[in-house]
Structure 1
């Protein structure tokens, strides 16, 4: 019995050896690399950059550059043709957004957008019939909008800024 206790004590002391680096605990799976490009803090400046490969259908360039915001999960992208977005909309340019899904689509399933203006509790809902695709998304006020996106059984979130006219 003493021998087992001595072996156990040696094992406990070896486990406490500070010369070995401890592995960092992993609480969840790492986010996809593409999700790093999202705008978690609602930056007002959305730079033009090369679109993700899966979002290039319909573009003639090999590496098209557009201002876009990637969903936090990396499952949807908002390509902003009407950049910067404004509220109220500008008289000569609409708030055009092309929504492209990385996830498979169900025919006829709409994209439902629930928006919350930072600091305000009210929810504004918009719907893009037929699912992700071209849209004009006008929101009621300027500011940073947190969007909950739902389509074809998928969900994602992102933040978009609407500037004051």
Structure 2
């Protein structure tokens, strides 16, 4: 009887483990989002979209200037040299809205902070399916405010380059 109870317990844990999202480090793989009004995961893989991890730790040294409290930044993605501050993200939900604007007028504002960057930033978005690409150029030098406009729902990989040099990538859902 003890053996059967142990087997049932292990099977139950395996089933429950398969229903949760795993947190992954920030990279072109990360967390995912699902459509609907419920809270969205901030790390892991779901529905085939590996979304970059949403971070709430302090911004990297040298990239956090200008925030009222750099130790409590808005949600962000990235690493020590490349940061995407997600000003639009409510409850740490990284889901973009196609067209760049949510109902009520809130825009998909992202501040890109890039160490040692000089010159304009180019972001290129790609997603599987039709209308799967977009490009935006943002003037600046190291700090690049933007409103990211994806053309449709999907799983978007956004690659950033400065002066032809790849500086980072993030993956975001759009719904």
Please give the range of the TM-score, normalised by the shorter of the 2 chains: 0.5 to 0.7
Match of 1:77 in 2: 83
C-alpha RMSD of the superposition: 2.6
Is the 2:82–2:113 Cα contact (8 Å) retained in structure 1? yes
Residues 1:115 and 2:133 aligned together: no
Match of 2:61 in 1: 53
- What is the aligned counterpart of 1:63 among 71, 84, 89? 71
Greater gyration radius: 1
- What is the aligned counterpart of 2:169 among 134, 151, 158? 158
Higher-strand-fraction structure = 1
Is the 2:156–2:174 Cα contact (8 Å) retained in structure 1? no
Is the 1:39–1:69 Cα contact (8 Å) retained in structure 2? no
Moved segments of 4+, more than 6 Å: none
Instruction: Tell me how many residue pairs correspond in the alignment.
Output: 125
Cα gap change, 1:62 to 1:122, in 2 (>3 Å): closer
Quote how far apart the aligned CAs of 1:153 are: 4.7
TM-score, normalising length: structure 2: 0.60
Cα gap change, 1:123 to 1:92, in 2 (>3 Å): closer
Match of 1:139 in 2: 150
Match of 1:97 in 2: 110
Structure 2 segments unaligned to the other structure (5+ residues)? 1-24, 34-41, 43-53
Structure 2 Cα separation of the partners of residues 157 and 105 of structure 1: 12
Cα gap change, 1:151 to 1:160, in 2 (>3 Å): same
Quote how far apart the aligned CAs of 1:140 are: 0.4
Cα gap change, 1:99 to 1:149, in 2 (>3 Å): same
Structure 1 segments unaligned to the other structure (5+ residues)? 1-35
The worse-fitting range, judged by mean Cα deviation, of 134-143 and 58-67 is 58-67
